[in-house]
Amino acid sequence: MTDAELRALVRTIPDYPKPGIQFRDITTLLLDGAGFAATIERLAASGPVPDLIAGIEARGFIFGAALAHRLGCGMVLLRKKNKLPGRVTGINYALEYGQDRIEMHADAVTPGANVLLVDDLIATGGTALAGVELLRGAGAVVERAAFVVDLPDLGGAARLAAAGVEVTALLGFEGD
């Protein structure tokens, strides 16, 4: 499947969630079996097989779980505050207006585990950077991150690269 064909499967919803935003909706990509399969195959071919995939809530779970299955590796869930049972470790991070928190099980990664961070989209990079910091704080090696969509004008991929994380994004949408 070509880049143009994959790109056509991502629906753009203007003025959502507020005026001036062009929301890139991957649910239409998920509806297309061939497109979803091609996306996972491309992500699988983007680098060496990690020990674990870390998927960011919620759409990162979809792509992360499919990719973990395809690569035959485990999956770590990076969730919003108070969503995981048992002992967790977490990190607070800044949003445009306020703060949020991302957590994982305290025993989810072992020191030295090679972890690939996965999400559907990289925009400003705040959540992805928090995920990298959380995983590294637990001793994981996080050198790569993979996304279906990049909004390069918002700088998230560049921020991850500055933190020593190689970024793979299948599709870029300029001007957003």
Beta partners for residue 167, in sequence order: 145
Whether 59 sits among the annotated catalytic residues: the reply is yes
- Catalytic choice (7, 42, 59, 159): 59
Q: Which among 176, 58, 62, 165 has a CA at the least distance from the CA of 115?
A: 165
DSSP string for 37-102: HHHHHHHHTTSPPPSEEEEETTHHHHHHHHHHHHHT-EEEEEEETT-S-S-EEEEEEEETTEEEEE
- Is 96 labeled as catalytic in the residue annotation? yes
User: Which are the catalytic amino acids?
Assistant: 59, 96
